[in-house]
Structures are given as C-alpha cells and as structure tokens.
Structure 1
Amino acid sequence: MSESLLQVEGLKKYFSISKDQSVKSVDDISLFIKKGETFGLVGESGSGKSTLGKTVVGLQAPTEGKIIYNGVDVASLNKKEKSIVNREMQIIFQDPYASLNPRMRVGDIIAEGIDAHGLAKGKERQERIYDLLDRVGLVPEHAKRYSHEFSGGQRQRIGIARALAVQPKFIVADEPIAALDVSIQAQVVNLLEDLKETEGLTYLFIAHDLSMVKHISDRIGVMYLGKMMELASSDDLFAEPLHPYTQALLSAIPVADPRAKKRERIVLAGDPPSPVNPPSGCRFRTRCPHAMSICSEAAPVWKEVRSNHWTACHLYN
C-alpha cells in the first residue's frame, strides 16, 4: 500500500452565526489520502465538501482536529515549515472567472506563487510561465492577455497552471468542472489525469457528478450534512453501495447504454436539514427509507464493514 500523504483526524469546522449557534460544516471527519491517488469526495450542496477541502489546504482554520501532511501535524510547524507545506498544497477553485484577478495579466496571475515563494526571477520566471501555459494546453501569447478574454475552459486551465506554478505535491480540485460546459468538462478532467502522471500529483477531487468522480477517482468518500457516510474504492462503491444515502445518489445516475442493468430509482423525501440544528443520532435519518428508532437515539459508529469499505449506518452496527 502506498504511503499516506495526507491524514485528517477528527476534523471539525464550525462557523459561528450567533452566541449560541454554529453551522457545523465539517463535523468529526477522519480519512487518509495515499501518495499518487485521486480521492473523490461527493455529496449534495451544503454537505461540507468544499469546506473540508479549503480547511485541508489552510484557507480556513480548523475548529478542532488534526491535519497531518507527510507524517507531520501541520499545526505544530513553525512559520518557515508552514510556508513549505502551503507551497506543496494547492487548490483549483470551482469558478475560474471569480478566482482570477481581472486586473492582472495571465502571466502575472500564474506567477503569483512563484513570486511569493521566491522561486524564480527575470528570464527564468518568464520561461516558467510559458512552460506552464504549454503544459495546460495554452500558448505563450496568452500570458499578455487578461482573464476576461478567455473562455471558461481556458480560464480553468489558467487556474490549473497557477496551482502548478509552485510545484505542488497535493492539489484540492474543488468542483473544477462544475462551471464548465459539458463539452469542455472531459477535456479538463483528462488534463488533470495527464498532469497527475507527469507531475506525480495527489488529488482531492470534489464534485457533484458521480460518473465523472468514478472515472477519475481511486477511492471515494460520500458526505452528508458535515459527516462522512461511506468510503470505499471507486469500484466497490459503485458495485455495492452500503449506505442508503450512497444508494440514493447512485440510483440517480443516468445510464447511457439501454442494455445495461438500471438501478431502481430511490427518491429521497424533503431537503437536507439545517447544519445549524442537525437531527439527533444519524443525520440522514429524516430522509432515510430504512430509518429505525435507534437512528434518532444514537449516532452510528464509523466502522470498516468490509475490507477497505467503511460506513456509518445502524444497518451495519
């Protein structure tokens, strides 16, 4: 088994909205990501996926828990050591337009990290910018333009080049294809896969599109209302989902081949509850077709039900 590059232990991220109330965006999540793998993270809007990704790379401070990178607790690092970790952990944002400064030329946007970490100057800096543009499928002339002069797919390629500029080892791809046309999504995903091989990258890939997550991910975690519901290899999760929430998500995936066996469609009742006041016990119980009395009385234990297949559900406790 590959060595873990990132471990998250008991991670919590709460946002205070009043003296006595907090939004529990991420609530006691534990997972590990192996070097060289793509870990997919899925769930409905508001499940806490993006918050988890931003907390992992340091854009938001955790309320509680540990983030261990390369075997070292990030919270224990001094300023210089933390700067190195910040360089090695990068993020690609969902909205390629909002994440790029409209007043800066593309070359300077890409070089922000290079300048901040003092990695190159002068001619070497310029050559790095051109090389990065080439690696993401753009040309040197694009360095002189502004972000508004590009299409959505090209802007996302610029965002990817910016993330690559500081030679990272770990990248959080926060729904990098959600804002793109369907015709462009596959191109960006293929680019990310190619870069993973050529640059030796490790990904946390956050997305809504389960079929795309299956295509790119080695393992997949399923989140609901700040909690992890299930975690398994991509093949195992799609072949035999254990948690009722995962089963409902997978049942909604359209099947292109009319000869393929279709899953029975599972329609969940209502909307997810508020993360400010989540249900007692299992957070999914208010929408679960298999809810039992114990589901409201106690939170299910996160356990390995099968080999490398984890879930939190009273059906397996």
Structure 2
Amino acid sequence: MAVIPLTDLTERAREIFRLVVEGYLADGLPVGSKILASDERVNLSPASIRTVLADLEGQGLLAAPHTSAGRMPTEIGLRLFVDGMMQVAEPTREERATIEQRLSDGGPIEQALEATSSLLSDISGAAGMVMVPSREPRLRQLSLVSLSPDRALAVLVGEDGQIENRVVELSEPSTASALEQASNYITARLAGKTLAEAVRVVQLEVASGRSELDNASKTLVERGLAVWSEDAAKRPVLIVRGQANLLDEAALGDIERVRSLLDDLENKQSVAGLLENARQAEATRIFIGAENRLFALSGSSVIASPYRDREGKVVGVLGVIGPTRLNYARVVPMVDFTARSLGKLIG
C-alpha cells in the first residue's frame, strides 16, 4: 500500500494520528481512545475519536494488535509521520560537546570508530553501527626494528600522522643492516603511496630487475608491507555495538522478531550492503521495516548517515538499528551530528 498524501487527512485526523504515533514511540504501547480523550489537545468524545481511529486504520496508517487494544502506527504510518510531521530535536550544546569529546580521545582511527559505534548505541538506546572507511593510509615512513632473530617490529607512520605497530614474523633470521636497508627503501621509494600501490611498485621493480635490494632486504620489504595488507583484509567492514539494547522489556514480548534481528546483525556483509545505500545520500536516511528486504522479518528501522573526510569525500557510513519505535526526532539529528564529528577526525 502506498503512503497517502498528508493533505488527504483532515486536521482532526492529522492531530489524532500524530498523538498516536508520538505516544507509541514514547513507550512502545498502543494508544487507546480513552487516553486520547483525556488529552486536553483533543476536543472530541471517545466515540468520535474511535471513528477517526477506524478511518486511519482503514487507510493503512494505524493498526490494532488486539481487538480491545488501542492503535499503533503501521510501517506506512511511520513513514508518513517521519517524512511529513516529525519535528526533530537538535542536540543541545552539552550533547554536542559530549559527542565530540568521546570521539576525540586520541589513539588509532579504529579506536575512534569503535567509540562511535558505542556512542550511537548509547544515544539511541538501540544498536550502533559504523562501516570502516574503505580507504588505505598513505605511507610517510615505515621502520623495521629487530625484536629477535626471527621477529621484527614494523612501525608505520601515515601521511595523516597516524602511527601503527605490527609484529612481523620473519621466515629466516635477518641482520640489522638488512632491516635498515629495507626501512630506508620503503621510506625513500614508497612514501606517499597506498599499501596496494607500494606492493605493486616493489613487484614491478623486482620483476624488471631494477630493484636495488638484495634478496634478504627484498623479502623484508614484501613482508613488512604484507602485514598491513593482511590486517586490512581481516578487519570487519562493520563494527556493531549495543546489541543487548535490543533485548528490552517490550522486545521480550516479540522474541522471534528480536532473534531475527540479531541473526541479521550477525550477517555483517548484508548489513554493510544496506548501509552502502546511504553512501551517496546528502542527508541522513531512514529505512523502516519492510522497506528494506533484509529487515522485512524483524520489522526493524535503520537510521544511517554517510561520514566524510576533511576533503569532503564520503569514506564510510554510520547509523543505528532498532525497533520501528525508535525516537526518530531525537536520534536522526544525533546520528547526523555524530557523522559530522567523526568526519573531522578522518584525515
């Protein structure tokens, strides 16, 4: 069923509809005619309210989970509310300061991404998700330091100033001079290149016989670069935090839906594919329930926003996932501000 235009609703129907949706999003419970009749903003009898509720149900905007229960919005009703009636609550100065502080505690970018996912979970009461940036660091310097005859410490300094360490297992003992030669070669010949570009340069030079490295140093260069390439391939494309938030009291009454949602989250590649749909968006996107095939069974909502590096290039997507009764008015601007704050940390 298509979403009807908001203009097709009378002013009275719009007000009743808005109160039902806001009540449901506040506590996750259906809203009945008695509750609406006690609201001073509604100047209607319970009988008149029931007539309006029945009309809204007939239009596919509301549903009654039980015969004697109140009404709750359908996914179509939620879409109408989010697109045409919702008034967002921008983060306060204190909330903005808290978000920026939690994301800028220093450390490698992976740490900031994990902090972002946890932060999104905390501010939404749902699960937070962050896609790892699909970009490689550019080399400024790489040093190899001996730890033992068959192990070395590789210290990579990126052009963005990030410093990372990895332990390299050596296939055969290496001398200090071989480690130094490999380090000097990488810094002099490969600075400014991504890891993938650096590996290709080394392979081409070795294949053409133009490499100045001896066999021992060549092996060290290849192993030093490979340890980062292997590490990048093993990194999750998606960091999810706060799944326990999905097991609240309201969710326990619909445990099959929650189990379906947790199963979906285990399939991180599919969830990452959904977030990719928000990569080209200019603003935060909202996916409600069956609007996305992945969450058709669990009936969940996703609020997602792209985040950009300092040059304005989209490098990833972050967001939250939870029940359709998310507090959209509060969470949407929080997700948007968090995306902008994370972007300031991406080189």
Provide the TM-score with structure 1 as the length reference.
Answer: 0.24
Going by fraction, where is strand more abundant, 1 or 2? 1
Going by fraction, where is helix more abundant, 1 or 2? 2
